Amino acid sequence: ASGARSLIPPIQGLNEIEYVTNENFFGDKFPKKPWESLIIIGGGVIAAEFAHIFSAFGTKVTIVEMLPRLVMTEEPEISEFLERNFKEHMNVLLNHKAIKVGTKKNFKTVTVQNVDNGKEMELEAEEILVAAGRRSNAD
């Protein structure tokens, strides 16, 4: 078995800032206290797990997912349940693609684009977590 690593999507500016993945989170990126705000790029299982944990710690969480539902690998009923529950505690942007990241003052920024109508908006948070899927180590 060759294993897998985090899939890092080709987002403008991502190589120029520091960000967190599920791999480096438990090392030097582990926060001393929960972040005040967190933008999660991706809406799969790993993204959902981190969103739930940080929301429970009081972090203002925003999930940015380009697909029409969370955890697309699960049954639609599971996705709908998660979406309903998450929207009570966090900002969930489905059908939105992260197209650019950067920094502004003490915040990191993510520019997202609605995949249906092309409208863009800029989000700000203390930290960005990239959880956009896994990629085989065999490539």
Tens digit of each residue's pLDDT (9 = 90 or more) over 96-111: 999 999 999 999 999 9
Q: What is residue 86's predicted lDDT score, i.e. its pLDDT?
A: 97
Going by pLDDT thresholds of 50, 70 and 90, the confidence category of residue 139 is low
Rounded average pLDDT over 17-24: 87
4 pLDDT above the threshold of 90? no
Mean pLDDT of the region 48-63 = 96
In DSSP notation, 18-66 reads --B-TTTTTTTT--SS--SEEEEE--SHHHHHHHHHHHHTT-EEEEE-S
Go through the domains of the chain in sequence order and give each one's CATH number.
19-134 (3.50.50.60)
- DSSP for 102-139 reads EEETTEEEEEEEETTT--EEEEEESEEEE---EEETT-
pLDDT tens digits for range 111-131: 999 999 999 999 999 999 999
Beta partners for 103?
Answer: 108
pLDDT given for residue 28 in this prediction: 72
Question: What value does the mean pLDDT take over residues 8-33?
Answer: 84
pTM higher than 0.75 for the full model?
Answer: yes
Q: For position 32, what pLDDT does the model report?
A: 84
Residue whose C-alpha is closest to residue 37's, from 17, 19, 56, 62: 62
pLDDT at 7 over 80: no
